[in-house]
Amino acid sequence: MLEYEPNADIHVLDTHVLDISQHNQVPGATYYKCDISSLSEVEAIFAKCKPKTVFHVASPDPANVQPALFRKVNVTGSHNLLLAAQKIATVKAFIYTCSSSVIHDNYSDLKRACTLSKAEAETSILAANRANGDSSILTASIRVASAFGERDYTTFAKIAANARKGKANMQIGNSQNLYDVTYVSNLVDAHPLAAQGLLRAHGKPLTSPATRVDGEAFFISNDEPILF
């Protein structure tokens, strides 16, 4: 983020700030311990730092099997961030990190709590775009396809762990299905680019669908599908 905006003040909200080792912290950023499912906690921090741009990237591990946790963080947390952003009146751009899995043509009896909660959160965030006119908050969503890279603890870390246990010799289907992945730096770049688009559009009339960023959802991947 500082590469795009060297003079920006960066404020990070996280539930585990006190547990994060120093090598995971960025010099110059301010860290706050916060549970986004608590509106009062979010409002207190927003009132202190008065953000111009909000990047909502928080979400539980998608492999988690507690539906209530996904609703707490992804639905209630998103709602609270929006309310706090609207109340403080300094926020111009709100970017949500969603998932490509919210759109698919698969039919199954299985209920994916993570995907459902992400879809619900995205719907409310995009609906908040220009809710109070051209000079109100502009929103956008980034639909990422299976992010991986440095400090990845949810995807390839688990694949490697299963391989060490001798569980890499299993196959589902004929291995001819295409699967998209996203290197973390591509995902990171997408966020400030989306923010720049929203900030350019703030206070101006809605543009044509071909050039519009606000109120839109964007799929992000390496554009290099692999066989699965």
Q: What is the pLDDT of residues 98-117, one digit of tens each?
A: 999 998 777 777 778 889 99
Structure tokens at 19: 């547990």
If phi > 0 it is left, if psi is from -120 to 50 it is alpha, else beta; for residue 149 that is left
Lowest pLDDT segment from 83-92, 121-130, 168-177: 168-177
| Residues classed as catalytic | 118
Burial letters for 71-88: b for 16+ Cβ neighbours within 10 Å, e otherwise? bbbbbbbbbbbbebbeeb
> Is a pLDDT exceeding 60 seen at residue 20?
no
Question: For domain 11-227, which architecture applies?
Answer: 3-Layer(aba) Sandwich (3.40)
This prediction's pTM: 0.91
- β partners of residue 179: 226
> Is a pLDDT exceeding 70 seen at residue 21?
no
> Is a pLDDT exceeding 60 seen at residue 185?
yes
Residue 92: per-residue pLDDT: 97
| CA-to-CA dists, residue 102 to 61, 126, 129, angstroms | 16, 14, 19
Q: CA–CA separation, 28 vs 10, rounded Å?
A: 7
Lowest pLDDT segment from 24-28, 46-50, 118-122, 162-166: 24-28
Q: CA–CA separation, 200 vs 206, rounded Å?
A: 11
Residue 153: per-residue pLDDT: 76
Residue 22: per-residue pLDDT: 60
> Is a pLDDT exceeding 80 seen at residue 24?
no
Q: CA–CA separation, 78 vs 4, rounded Å?
A: 25
Place of tokens 């490697």: 160
Q: Residue ranges per domain, the chain?
A: 11-227
Q: CA–CA separation, 228 vs 181, rounded Å?
A: 11
Write the pLDDT tens digit of every residue in 205-223. 999 989 999 999 999 999 9
Structure tokens at 69: 């946790």
Write the pLDDT tens digit of every residue in 122-135. 999 999 999 999 88
Write the pLDDT tens digit of every residue in 30-49. 999 999 999 999 999 999 99
Write the pLDDT tens digit of every residue in 62-84. 877 789 999 999 999 999 999 99
Q: CA–CA separation, 112 vs 62, rounded Å?
A: 9
